[in-house]
Structure 1
Amino acid sequence: MKRRQLLLGAVGLMASTALVAGCGSTPAATPTPAQDPTGNITFWSSMAGMDKVAEAFNASQDNIKVTFETVPNGASGGYAKLSTAITAGNGPDVATIEYPQLPQFVSNGQLQPLDGLIDKAATVDKLSEETKGLVQFGDQTYALPYDAAPMIMWYRKDMLDKAGVGVPKTWDEFEEAGKLIKAVAPEAHLASFNPNEAALTAALSWQAGAKWFGTEGDNWKVGVNDAATQKVATYWQKLIDEKIVKVQQSFSDEWSADLASGAVVGVLGANWSATGIQKRTEASGQKGQWIAAEVPNWGTPADAFYGGSSFNITKSSKNPAAAAKFIEYLATNPDAIKARGNTGSAFLAFPGLTPVAQKAFDASYFGNDIYQVFDKAYGTITPGWQWGPNWDITNTALKDAYGKLTSSGKVRDAVETAQTATVAGLKQNGLSVKE
């Protein structure tokens, strides 16, 4: 059973997933693009600087004109707006969708496959297997990836030095470092546990070898509470109980104040965290004190993606050939990266683009070569992860359960709750699910 076939079963495009499998469904034919597509297309994105990229594309040729519109990010209703517009037939030609949400748009039949529209040899074939896995379903490609965001640990190196510890290589060393820091700075926490970031729990579990979603025969297999995730949950609960980490909302006023004051001296984030850390700490004279490091592991170097977006052609596009030409530019052309300018410490999926973005970002605030760390982390992404057909269900259930962590709640109870809610929600959507 191919994942695309199971996804299509979710929205009743076939009578059931079993029927999809039984009839050996073949992908619908996609149009062959014109040699030089022409016409007008629209582009929706919440990503900063994409208006400048659209302008640069328009200036680079005369055949296609892109009209850009800024939309809210997903957490602020951007995906709801996009879904409604596509369903009504007046969505954009090109949209930006993050990796966890991508399968949901595919399952709803709201995106066009790119096969036959893009130059596969010049785009998809050059990607790593891990990034391909985020945008391909079965035999078809539904997006071109933009960034590939490895999970990164950021530390106040001066506080590690004060405690007499090096950069933790394993999670056991991380716990020990947290204890030693508290011994010299009792009010300090080595990091935060962010209940509003369910995707970070997914990344930590992914790194540990978890497989939250997969397929087995005609069924979706769901393991939000699998053994690897339970290990991660038990570990972080221990850190919370020992007050090595502080439970707080990421990007909140409290979190920002704690970074500035030194109440929190580490950030579990991704490559893109650099800008936020600098913004929150530079007024406190912390330049040169923060460093990037590979995330501690369970005994073998390993990592996962935390964040990242893709470019897609929506079902409502009337000019998919022109849209395909534009997303090739967005995802693979150095000129697009230059046009976007300095929008942070980007790490891009297509080979050769990260150095272009790196030139636009001043990383001198940090005490080490952060891009060298990004490169190493990217090389250890744990293979085999796939997102499920409706991330909203799992995301909401996990965040709601985490709301109890400051009282009587436990991390492990939260992942059990999320497992139950995910299975029930997918079944309600008409999917065949196996735990």
Structure 2
Amino acid sequence: MSRKLKRSIALAGVVAMASLGLAACGGADDKAGSADSNSNEKVEIEYLHRLDNADDAVKVQTIVDKWNKENPNIKVTPKKFDGKAQELIKKVQTDTDAKNAPCLYQAGYADLAELYVKGLVQDVSKYATQYKDKYLPGPFDSMAVDGKYLGLPQDTGPLVYFYNKAEFDKLGLKVPTTWEEFTTTAKAAAEKGKYIVAYEGDEGAQIFSAMTAAAGGQWFGVEGDAWKVDTTDEGSASVAALWQKLLDEKSAKVVGRWADEWAPAVQKGEIIGTIGAAWEAPLIAGDAPDQSGQWAIAQLPGGASGPDGGSGVVVSKTCEHPEQAMKFNAWFNEQVDDLASQGLVVAAKATPKAPDYAKFYGGQDVIKEFTTANTNMKPFTFPPSWSVPQGYLSGEGGAAAGDGTMKVADVFKNSGDQLKDALKKLNLEVK
């Protein structure tokens, strides 16, 4: 691998950020997706997604049916993937090798560099740029890697604070506005058997990285021709210390976000607050429907936020109809009211109406709260092979910090060491 190509791949990850106000770097030409399609040709497009199909959400099939009725020459078939995001990437890789990957598939901003390096997507810049004005600039440019746009953005995932206002009022607690207040309030609540925050080991990668971004930290970056990896900078250290204090003082409920124990803990009034991505709003509402009207949403202490999730829809390397696929892609991601019902914080500029789940939050203007978090969201760089530290932070490492067998700061350091090794295996230079 040439030094020039190494640098090109290294730079790829820099622009794969779930943030606002980031521009893509320039890159080499790519022949993939460069041929124009006959727009009158009847084609079939498959769209693989991980969107919610909850009872109170507009079903993806319902949205697609509207498209198919109005666009008989471009028939779209949606298929839901119920596995984890990392498993979806493995499926797409297998399907790509067999040359039968879906034309469109959902991909997190954090995964784009890896998808690009593995050759699982194609350059659709000539089509994407036609729709640029329809999207917020940050999410739009987050779909570019090495100067090539791989698809269009669908949603963002800024961290916010969810809390049971009724329970806070009963305990005489106020929503913390600083992290110092947060730990003090958490300790006071825990002494009464209530938890204003949960330590979610299975969401470690997302929560830790997003909170680090909010704290002004940055784990990964590029200096010259080399990747710089540092999971121990000032912002990282402050986040690690915060969680360590909460764990040491037993002020946080240790429970997996996706564990069977989560919802019952909320229903019993044991968990009365949690730090989570904006897209979790309808999920929390579904966890404890009997508490409708009691909960509310606030900004994180300090006001800054970081990216937890957020995704776009990319065009697969084997898609034979990129132009038509992108027409549907643009249309689908502009169905903001329907997507908001799914719990998405849309990347399109159009403002959706208040979703039904807003009733759970006392009729609060949840869209306004999410917009504020989006505005205050700080960037985080996702490198190639992000799946390696991600798996550790949300797996073995996250669990070890939760059960007290490892310090949070050590988990951070180990994740950085693992990423360095993974980047070296890609023949990338590492500082």
TM-score computed with the length of structure 2 as normaliser: 0.86
Measure, in 2, the Cα distance between the counterparts of 1:236 and 1:282: 29
Asked if structure 1 preserves the Cα contact closer than 8 Å seen for 2:10 and 2:225, the reply is no
Asked if structure 2 preserves the Cα contact closer than 8 Å seen for 1:6 and 1:220, the reply is no
**Partner residue in 1 for 2:195:** 189
The Cα of 1:76 is off from its aligned counterpart by 7.5
- Flag the 1:3–1:96 CA change in 2: closer, same or farther, 3 A: farther
Correspondence 1:210 to 2:253: no
Select the residue among 374, 379, 398 that pairs with 1:378.
Answer: 374
Measure, in 1, the Cα distance between the counterparts of 2:171 and 2:132: 46
Select the residue among 72, 87, 96 that pairs with 2:106.
Answer: 96
Deviates more, 1:47-56 or 1:260-269: 47-56
Question: What secondary structure does 1:211 align onto?
Answer: coil
The Cα of 1:134 is off from its aligned counterpart by 2.4
- Flag the 1:229–1:188 CA change in 2: closer, same or farther, 3 A: same
Measure, in 2, the Cα distance between the counterparts of 1:124 and 1:245: 42
**Partner residue in 1 for 2:321:** 319
**Partner residue in 2 for 1:388:** 383
**Amino acid of the structure 2 residue aligned with 1:322:** Q
- Flag the 1:102–1:166 CA change in 2: closer, same or farther, 3 A: same
Identity %: 26
Deviates more, 1:169-178 or 1:38-47: 38-47
**Partner residue in 2 for 1:419:** 416
TM-score computed with the length of structure 1 as normaliser: 0.86
Correspondence 1:276 to 2:274: no
Select the residue among 62, 84, 94 that pairs with 1:74.
Answer: 84
* Superposed CA RMSD: 2.5
Select the residue among 151, 161, 167 that pairs with 1:153.
Answer: 161
Deviates more, 1:26-35 or 1:170-179: 26-35
The Cα of 1:9 is off from its aligned counterpart by 8.9
Select the residue among 66, 71, 75 that pairs with 1:56.
Answer: 66
The Cα of 1:195 is off from its aligned counterpart by 0.8
Asked if structure 1 preserves the Cα contact closer than 8 Å seen for 2:45 and 2:102, the reply is yes
**Partner residue in 1 for 2:295:** 290
- Flag the 1:325–1:369 CA change in 2: closer, same or farther, 3 A: closer
Asked if structure 2 preserves the Cα contact closer than 8 Å seen for 1:4 and 1:137, the reply is no
What are the Cα deviations for residues 384-412 of structure 1, in whole angstroms up to 9, with x where unaligned? x2211122101122221122221422111
What are the Cα deviations for residues 352-407 of structure 1, in whole angstroms up to 9, with x where unaligned? 1433xx34x24112133322211211111114x22111221011222211222214
The Cα of 1:431 is off from its aligned counterpart by 1.7
- Flag the 1:227–1:365 CA change in 2: closer, same or farther, 3 A: same
**Partner residue in 2 for 1:21:** none
**Amino acid of the structure 1 residue aligned with 2:77:** T
**Partner residue in 1 for 2:46:** 42
Structure 1's unaligned 5+ residue stretches are 11-23
Correspondence 1:265 to 2:265: no
Measure, in 2, the Cα distance between the counterparts of 1:382 and 1:311: 22
- Flag the 1:302–1:2 CA change in 2: closer, same or farther, 3 A: farther
**Amino acid of the structure 2 residue aligned with 1:61:** N
**Partner residue in 2 for 1:172:** 180
What are the Cα deviations for residues 57-103 of structure 1, in whole angstroms up to 9, with x where unaligned? 11112221223333333358322111111122111111111221222
The Cα of 1:421 is off from its aligned counterpart by 0.8
